[in-house]
Structure 1
Amino acid sequence: MIDPAYAQVMARYNAWQNLSLYTAARNLSEEARQQDRGAFFGSIEGTLCHLAWGDLMWMSRFDGGQGARAGAFGPETASAYSWEELLTLRPKLDARIAAWAWSLSDDDLAGDLTWYSAVLKRELSKSKALCVMHLFNHQTHHRGQVHAMLTAAGARPDDTDLPFMPEEVAEWP
């Protein structure tokens, strides 16, 4: 299905794209970042917030580390963190995802992952590989929304095509 190399490429892609989007979003006013633009999580900032919340939720299931802020579900995930918190959290979270991806073995992707879903109020079990693919697919989906909203707001994020990903991802300023 997938192997550690897939997770490593996608972790690099995640970091590259997040740096691009946050750099573009930083150049917007607070009002422009928070303007409801019709996306599921409303605004650029709300969608970035939901994405960080989701990444934290999944990473806690994968590596046992810190999870997402408690008490936020569904639309509430769009306001779980402030912009200032996101600017501090995102690069650390991307580094966490990368460290986890580079620590994976084929065995780590085998079998099922079982967790309790507070949203569904029950325990779930799914293929670990499927859950890892979901993490990266969820990121790509919502970053695509943010990219479109940023472009509509006049910002200029980088291209999103995997073949154009640089060999080395720049450091956050």
Structure 2
Amino acid sequence: MINPAFAQLMARYNHWQNDNLITCADALDDEARRQNRGAFFGSIEGTFSHLLWGDGIWLSRFCEDPPPPGDIPASTSMIEDWNVFREERMHMDRRILDWAENLSAAWLDGDLTWHSGALGRQVTRPRAELVVQFFNHQTHHRGQIHAMLTASGMRPGDTDVPFMPEIYAG
């Protein structure tokens, strides 16, 4: 299905796109970032917050990192200070890059069992499928952030993988 090189590419893409969207969102004030824009998680900031939380949840399952506090509804309120969030996001992206660099094909071949708070039960799925979900979840919600930024008059940069700058390419 996938291999470690896929995860490494997507980890670099994740880092690039978070930088892209956060740099664009930096031009907005707190009120504009917190404005409810009708997205699933409400605002630009709420969606960024959910992404940070979601990445922490998946890494807690993949690497036994401690999970972030809260649940899906609370995931939108993790950002109290934009600059602190930027640092936490940068740290998370570094953690994802490190995880991907150390990923083995053997690990991807196995299954993962965890308790899903969203479903309220234990779930077992192939790890490779869950890694795809991990990166797809990021891309999905970053697309929502991109749309909200565009609607607010901002202009995020490129999003296409082949246009990823060399600085992120590894």
When the two structures are superposed, what TM-score results if normalisation uses the length of structure 2?
A: 0.94
Partner of 2:134: 135
Alpha-carbon offset, residue 87 of structure 1: 1.4
For residues 122 and 115 of structure 1, the distance between their equivalents in structure 2, rounded to whole angstroms, comes to: 8
Residues paired across the two proteins, number: 168
Partner of 1:104: 103
For residues 66 and 96 of structure 1, the distance between their equivalents in structure 2, rounded to whole angstroms, comes to: 13
For residues 132 and 122 of structure 2, the distance between their equivalents in structure 1, rounded to whole angstroms, comes to: 20
Partner of 1:26: 26
Report the residue type matching 2:25 in the other structure: A
For residues 65 and 105 of structure 1, the distance between their equivalents in structure 2, rounded to whole angstroms, comes to: 18
SS in 1 for 2:114: strand
Q: What runs of 5+ residues in structure 1 fail to find an aligned partner? A: none
Would you identify which runs of 4 or more consecutive aligned residues in structure 1 move more than 4 Å?
none
Q: Deviations over 1:126-147 (max 9, x none)?
A: 0100000000000000000101
For residues 103 and 51 of structure 1, the distance between their equivalents in structure 2, rounded to whole angstroms, comes to: 22
Q: Select between 29-38 and 75-84 the one with higher mean Cα deviation.
A: 75-84
Alpha-carbon offset, residue 76 of structure 1: 2.3
Residue 61 of structure 2 is aligned to residue 61 of structure 1:
yes
For residues 85 and 129 of structure 1, the distance between their equivalents in structure 2, rounded to whole angstroms, comes to: 32
For residues 83 and 18 of structure 2, the distance between their equivalents in structure 1, rounded to whole angstroms, comes to: 15
Partner of 1:158: 157
For residues 122 and 5 of structure 1, the distance between their equivalents in structure 2, rounded to whole angstroms, comes to: 32
In 1, are the aligned partners of 2:45 and 2:79 still within 8 Å (CA)?
no
For residues 76 and 110 of structure 1, the distance between their equivalents in structure 2, rounded to whole angstroms, comes to: 33
SS in 2 for 1:125: strand
Residue 116 of structure 2 is aligned to residue 117 of structure 1:
yes
**Kindly, what percent of the aligned residue pairs are identical?**
55
